[in-house]
Structure 1
């Protein structure tokens, strides 16, 4: 992706994640699909950082660890030397990020789909391993972060959805918005994280389960990024 050494260092704090995302925002063209998703994700991550600073999380250590490991998976996908080296969930966005027939709202939703539909469950498991805890210990902060993710969906709609005079009932975007729910995806991610944790002693089966999550999110993302008429 041509990022500098400073931008490709693996972040280990929420502040470092915010810095990295701001660097991406400054480096990428505004219409780039990754830039579109990065802007809305950055807004939510900045809010997580503010709430951590204000002591709004019951377990700041757990919330911070979860947020960082969650973001790491997105940033690792962006750092992949080619789209084919990224997880399947991110490949559609990486491959179509400059397609003139894909609208900004589609880019944003495809990024949210990849991140929630695949990365979130694995980030919970990563955090449990790092903190040596069960998923139940993270559930409260998972829900609080989840509230911010719902805010991300609202921000996507407010900032990127065409005005009511442009978005007609027959517009494909109307169907797209009604066919996907972040809240449902978040609930599915929690169930998947619990299943992956339960399978941790069976690495082959856990790996197959994770691959299927990845493939399913990639398929959904490909559909979301179908080029639409202007």
Structure 2
């Protein structure tokens, strides 16, 4: 059963953006560089650091709302990591990444995008609901903060793709990775997450339907993640941003 409440014993709780950054840096220090979850963790750490810089520069109209959304968002990922560490099952959307994190035939870009897929496709929608409960507001009141966090994610995804598939010569090669990843879009995933958040919020007085909706969402995002992690053989040894 997928839990809709704002965390509990099944999730790692943090209460500030600094705490989020501390947790992710500590996790990264304990994992091998090529570990698939470590690859995503570096990407997500870069996103969170960038959000922090935007907050410091005053680019969020409502800093309190932005921090609440970002922290609740991060808690979903940290909760999945904690579940695996304690030998519990993480949400279905995260299972492919944790199961295949050491597979030599899965390339770094696949690990990065599979993590982004899980976090945006499933966690972001629930983080909006969590933040609304924390702040006592409606999803529409968080739309500006949602869009600004999403813009940071989209810009980073573009940078990741450029760094790992850096030029036209590589893209002209009939590499299966080019075709596999060309079918996935972070912008479309973000739009779907916003729709899902509004649906979950609208169903909050119908808990059985809400639970069923979230379970279906979790399963569907997990299926996409498993496709993104299809082993393709060892490709170019290219580094992710921040490596």
Q: TM-score, normalised by structure 1?
A: 0.92
Aligned partners of 2:181 and 2:228 also within 8 Å: no
Unaligned 5+ runs, structure 2: 1-10, 235-243
Distance 1:74 1:110 in 2: 13
Distance 2:28 2:167 in 1: 25
Counterpart of 2:227 in structure 1 is 223
Q: 1:29 to 1:21 in 2, by over 3 A?
A: same
Larger RCO: 1 or 2 (CA < 8 Å, sep 6+) = 2
**Corresponding position: 1:149 with 2:177:** no
Give 1:111-190 correspondences, 5 Å limit: 111-161=115-165, 164-190=168-194
Counterpart of 1:73 in structure 2 is 76
What's the C-alpha RMSD, in Å, of the aligned pairs?
1.6
**Corresponding position: 1:28 with 2:31:** yes
1:59 alignment partner, one of 48, 57, 62: 62
Q: Match of 1:130, SS?
A: helix
Which structure's residues are more often helix, by fraction? 1
**Superposed CA offset, 1:38-91 (max 9, x none):** 111111100111111222110101000000000110111111136761000000
**Superposed CA offset, 1:123-152 (max 9, x none):** 000000111100010001111111001012
Q: TM-score, normalised by structure 2?
A: 0.87
Q: 1:134 to 1:66 in 2, by over 3 A?
A: same
